Amino acid sequence: MESKRQQKISRLLQKDLGEIFRLMAHDHLRGYLITVTRVNITPDMSLARVFLSLFGPGEKTEIFKNINRQKKEIRHQLGIRVKGQLRIIPDLEFIVDDSLDYIENIEKLLNA
């Protein structure tokens, strides 16, 4: 069970990371939409697990690898945005959120 502080920080990180990915997709990943679906932060605020949904043409694994290669820059951008609100910027762990693919598959099976 997350504390209220964890929930507030998770929402803050989700909003700011969403904006960072929007700008990053516009500049570097043309044609891709990256959505931050959820952020879970550890109780000691040292690690944030960021769940991403990737939409667009091409191979999702390549885009995900590209995001992981840019993790340091993404964390830096996050630090600039939340510097007045967090003392320590958490490490980021990106996870592909495939729940929408799962839902789509269930709907396809139910309609068949």
What residues does each domain of the chain span?
Answer: 4-111
State how far the Cα of 23 lies from the Cα of 52, in Å rounded to an integer: 15
Residue 14 has pLDDT above 90, yes or no: yes
Percentage of the chain exceeding pLDDT 70: 96
What pLDDT is stored for residue 56 in this prediction? Answer: 77
Strand partners, 54: 34
pTM, full prediction? 0.84
- The CATH superfamily label for domain 4-111 reads K homology (KH) domain (3.30.300.20)
Residue 76 has pLDDT above 80, yes or no: yes
State how far the Cα of 10 lies from the Cα of 38, in Å rounded to an integer: 8
End-to-end CA distance of the chain: 39
The pair phi, psi for residue 42, each rounded to 5°, is: -70, 160
Q: What is the mean pLDDT of residues 36-53?
A: 94
> In terms of pLDDT, which residue wins out, 77 or 56?
77
pLDDT band at 46 (very low <50, low <70, confident <90, very high): very high
